[in-house]
Amino acid sequence: MPTLLFTGPGGAGTTTLAAAAAVRAARAGRRTVLVTRQDPPPGAATEPGLDVVRAEPRAELESLWAGWAAELTATVPDLALPPATSVVPVPGVGELAVLAALGRVAGDRSGAPADLVVLDAGPLETAAGLLALPGTLRWWLDQAVPTRVRVLAAVRAAAVRTGTLRRGAADLALGALPALEALLDGATLTDPARTAVWFVAPPRPGAVAGLHAATTALAVHGQRPVGVLARVLPGGGTGAWWAARATEQEAALDALAGVAPVRTVAESARAPEDADALAALLTDLPGPAGGAVVPAPERVDGGWRLTLPLPFAERSGVALTRWEDDLVVTAAGTRRSIRLDPLLRRCVVTEGSLVDAGTAAARLEVGFAADPQLWPADLLAAEGRTR
């Protein structure tokens, strides 16, 4: 289902504007779900047609632990495990709780499906971690449970069902994989055709640099912002301070327009007190539009070139490595392992360069050439004749 994801610097009003968008959508006749880790603003939870889902990390962890620990204790009777109320959350459980909440919304069959999900993703760093989470978990699953282990697990599961083997802790862990993989397969946060990312930011110089870094991080995972909601000064101010602040604001708005199209939202002296005040903050926002641009190899002299958009990336923050069939890209503090297509898997990386660094057009260009050890001799000879 379509998703609007809101994120911005801390204190920018992300939760408020996410709730405002959810209220507007519900009033337009769309069954809407607002997913947030915060208490929603007044009026959002009681708006007809709008369901609010709180992603509470501690409650999610305790629920997961209670079920898992009970099964493990039954499987290994002498194992002593702490109760759910004594489990200490690990870093990253907050993002996992949000992902689980989104999975429940997508899989809810109790009533009419939602027309729109509005996600309050929190600060920029948290949102970047959330977008990276499905791919990261998938990578770790592939490393920890490769194909040969999955085959053995299927054999063991069949033996357990027939009573030949007794179920153990490893079987319990492997049995949990299908549900986790289904959750990861259903994640749409990195698909621009299904999730639209909106930045919320004050028009200040410091916010521009933060959004540049966030845009690079999104690009690593195949996403891009569709717009910026800028919290601007209301009109009618006077005096030297106001004039200086307005000048700074205009310059920042021009810079923010280089990130994505800007919509302004006037600041108010008071926080919205009800759903009507929330709805008044925004006009309708466009949702996801257009599919992801899947990088494809381009034929060039001597081989192929793969181009990966990395807007605003700087050379000092970009790293590139090759691991077996994957290209591993690091930028803006985040990393992604990209599975190469069958053609490039039979090639070696010959070069990598960041073009137009620091600009909106920045891109990573990776060169490939045929690997003589992996190409049939006749194809390699034909390849040489075409150069």
Q: What is the 3-state secondary structure (H, E, C) of 57-71?
A: HHHHHHHHHHHHHHH
Lowest mean pLDDT among 26-35, 56-65, 349-358: 56-65
Of 47-51, 170-174, 360-364, 380-384, which range is least confident?
380-384
Per-residue model confidence as pLDDT tens digits over 95-129: 989 999 998 888 776 767 889 999 999 999 999 99
| pLDDT recorded at residue 118 | 96
Q: What integer pLDDT is reported at residue 291 of this predicted model?
A: 62
Cα(200)–Cα(197) distance, integer angstroms: 10
pLDDT tens for each residue of 164-185: 777 777 777 777 778 888 888 8
Mutual angle of helices 57-75 and 93-107, in 10-degree steps: 90
At what angle are helices 93-107 and 177-186 packed, to 10 degrees? 80
Q: According to the model, what pLDDT value does residue 19 have?
A: 95
The helix/strand/coil state of 12 is coil
**Radius of gyration of the chain from its Cα atoms, rounded to whole angstroms:** 25
Cβ(30)–Cβ(115) below 8 Å: yes
More confident residue, 326 or 89: 326
Q: What would the pLDDT profile of 221-272 be if each residue is shown by its tens digit?
A: 999 999 999 999 887 788 898 899 999 999 999 999 999 999 999 888 788 8
The proportion of the chain whose per-residue pLDDT surpasses 70, expressed as a percent, equals 95
- Give me the domains of the chain, ranges plus CATH numbers: 3-279 (3.40.50.300), 298-386 (2.60.40.790)
Per-residue b or e along 189-201, where b marks 16 or more CB atoms closer than 10 Å to that residue's CB: bbebebbbbbbbb
DSSP state at residue 332: T
Check residue 277 and give its pLDDT: 93
Q: Which of 265, 208, 225 is nearest to 21 (CA)?
A: 265
Give the H or E element holding residue 8. strand 3-8
Residue 26 exposed, middle or buried by CB count within 10 Å (0-12, 13-18, 19+)? buried
Residue 382: pLDDT over 60: no
Beta bridge pairs of residue 229: 200, 263
Q: What are the pLDDT digits (tens) for 9-60?
A: 988 899 999 999 999 999 999 999 999 998 999 999 999 999 999 998 888 8
Query: Coil, strand, or helix at residue 42?
Result: coil
